[in-house]
Chains A and B, each alone.
Chain A
Amino acid sequence: DGGITQSPKYLFRKEGQNVTLSCEQNLNHDAMYWYRQDPGQGLRLIYYSQIVNDFQKGDIAEGYSVSREKKESFPLTVTSAQKNPTAFYLCASSDRGYGYTFGSGTRLTVV
């Protein structure tokens, strides 16, 4: 079955550490997205990519970085510059003009 796989499900980060969240899709979608979800807030767009080797900042890109070396993969790195990284991170993909298919999310906690 086609879908989006995010890993790990849970991730713990120490102060000053960079961590990378994985996102893989086999839906053959061109566009991929990273959203952050905090309690009581709507999902906020971090980065998006519409084509391999190209990506754009979303609304809250500071402290995050991404790459898009393959159509199927869109990993997100949470850097030490992100001061409040504890959140639920969602990866999504879409075709042109359609809604999103989401992964199951990664919960990141700072310890």
Chain B
Amino acid sequence: EDQVTQSPEALRLQEGESSSLNCSYTVSGLRGLFWYRQDPGKGPEFLFTLYSAGEEKEKERLKATLTKKESFLHITAPKPEDSATYLCAVPLDLRGYNKLIFGAGTRLAVHP
């Protein structure tokens, strides 16, 4: 069964304390992996797409990496404004379009 699992469920950090979020998946024939950020009461906002093992992408304090079985979202020196739920998703082919399978997310709280 195609499945995406994120850990931890929740993470509390002090401002400046770096950490990593994990996204593991069981899908056949990975066609990419997406990371989104979701603020409370809002829709997910796109962060990154990774297509192949070994690929890395960065945006401000965030860096996403991909292996054959999992992806990590590294947060370097986080600030309180990085507090949000981070979602990862893998695409299944839907007649040329993507059906995204989402993990349950990691709720990140960064305290000053």
Query: Which residues from chain A sit less than 8 Å from chain B, CB to CB?
Result: 4, 6, 30-31, 35, 40-43, 45, 48, 50, 58, 88, 90, 92, 94, 96-105, 107
Contacts and interface: CB of A to CB of B under 8 A. Distances in A.
Instruction: Pick from B43, B94, B95, B100 the residue with the most CB of A within 10 Å.
Output: B43
A50 B97 contact: yes
Interface in B78-94: 87, 89, 91, 94
A42 B4 contact: yes
Interface residues of B, number: 26
The 4 closest A-B pairs by CB, nearest first: A102-B43, A42-B102, A43-B102, A31-B97
Contacts of A42: 4, 87, 101-105
15 contacts: A4-B43, A31-B94, A40-B9, A42-B87, A42-B103, A42-B104, A43-B102, A58-B99, A97-B96, A97-B97, A97-B98, A98-B98, A99-B49, A99-B100, A105-B41
